[in-house]
Amino acid sequence: MNRRKLLKTAAVGTFLATAVACGKNSEDEKKIIAKNTGKIEWKMVTTWPKNFPGLGTGAQRIADSITNMSEGQLTVKLYAAGELVPAFESFDAVRQETAHMSHGASYYWINKNKSTPFFAAVPGGLTAQEHNAWIHYGGGQELWDELYAEFNVKGFLGGNSGVQMGGWFKNKIEALEDFKGLKMRMPGLGAEVINRMGATAVALPGGEIMPALESGAIDATEWVGPWNDLAFGFYKVANNYYGPGFHEPGTHTECIVNKSAYEKLPKYLQNIVEHACVSENNKMLSEFTYANNVAQKKLIDLGVNINNFPADVYKEMFKISNEVVAETANAGDINKRIYESWSKFKKEARERAPFAEQGYMARRG
């Protein structure tokens, strides 16, 4: 060790010893310690309840993976919805660097830009596998980066729940008219579809859905699928469960990072952040696929009525969905380019589908 490194090491050691001896543990002093030891501490906020199956636990796995793969050089501490900021304030928390990362779903930020839902799920859109392909190889990531750069954040795919269910209803849905007057929890562009069908869409974070359903503030809700819906206990209030949903055919969660903070990281830590997200993106979909199979059987045993929507209802849902999604292209240049890229990929995926998984599953029986 040369003289300069020796002096630096001695100075750091003296500082740490003094801080410990004086019992100092303020946030500012922790930052100074981290800076002098070369370690970085990040905060991750989420839109999910603490340790919620799949979503909350998936976010925790990303935080733990980054911490472990970096051997503590980049330590990520997770704060569930409401612990540091409310669920729907997590995007701004990262943008303003109140937190460094967030785990949520991009359609929650539709008030920021009409096209944010394209990076989670849009009505009548892409399946999980198709969406992965569009983001990673079809130009989706580049458009996402351009859109989010306006807010000084960068997004990574951080999980997928697969095809979501159409929702829980207190009364049966037997015709289009049954949607009229309903108050239904629904986020993103799906909310506009529901509104045009005569219902009133209400945006609520996960933790607020059950109380609203119990109180009568809403008459129906979609959330995710059997696994998560069973955990919330929706079957205790609404016994009619419909699926698949038209609105989220393969819903990606996102892990966003503050762009300035991310770019300050050395390249190897940037790579660790990215690979932790990619790993969880794959793992979460597998977990949901397995757990939804198990949970659906439990719901049937509990007496839940699980059905498809009537054919004419689906037809109207997809007709309106195509209109709503196409209208996003009118919001600006970036919106037009996102829609055109996504639409081109969707057309190619539809042409391929009869000779891929869709064709196989139709014949498998």
The 3-class secondary structure across 122-158, one letter per residue, is: CCCCCCHHHHHHHHHHCCHHHHHHHHHHCCCEEEEEE
Distances (CA, A) of 330 to 112, 113, 320, 334, 335: 15, 12, 16, 10, 7
Local structure of 325: helix, strand or coil: helix
Distance CA 284, CA 270 (A): 21
Local structure of 169: helix, strand or coil: strand
Residue 365 has what pLDDT? 81
Q: What is the pTM (predicted TM-score) of this model? A: 0.88
Cβ atoms of 283 and 275 closer than 8 Å: no
Residue 38 has what pLDDT? 84
Percent of the chain scoring above 90 in pLDDT: 89
Assigned CATH for 39-161+251-289? 3.40.190.170
Domain boundaries, the chain: 39-161+251-289
Q: What is the pLDDT of residues 221-250, one digit of tens each?
A: 999 999 999 999 999 999 999 999 999 999
Q: What is the pLDDT of residues 132-165, one digit of tens each?
A: 999 999 999 999 999 999 999 999 999 999 999 9
Distance CA 233, CA 255 (A): 27
Residue 32 has what pLDDT? 47
Q: Average pLDDT of the chain? A: 92
Residue 8 has what pLDDT? 39
Q: What is the pLDDT of residues 94-129, one digit of tens each?
A: 999 999 999 999 999 999 999 999 999 999 999 999
Distance CA 74, CA 64 (A): 10
Bridge partners for 201 per DSSP? 184
* Per-residue confidence band for 41, with pLDDT thresholds at 50, 70 and 90: very high
- DSSP assignment of 241-265, as one string? EE-S-SS-SSPEEEEEEEHHHHHHS
* Per-residue confidence band for 36, with pLDDT thresholds at 50, 70 and 90: low
Distances (CA, A) of 13 to 18, 31, 263: 9, 15, 29
- Can you tell me the mean pLDDT for 27-52? 76
Cβ atoms of 99 and 93 closer than 8 Å: yes
Percent of the chain scoring above 70 in pLDDT: 90
Q: What is the pLDDT of residues 259-296, one digit of tens each?
A: 999 999 999 999 999 999 999 999 999 999 999 999 99
Counting Cα atoms < 13 Å in the Cβ hemisphere of 320 gives: 19
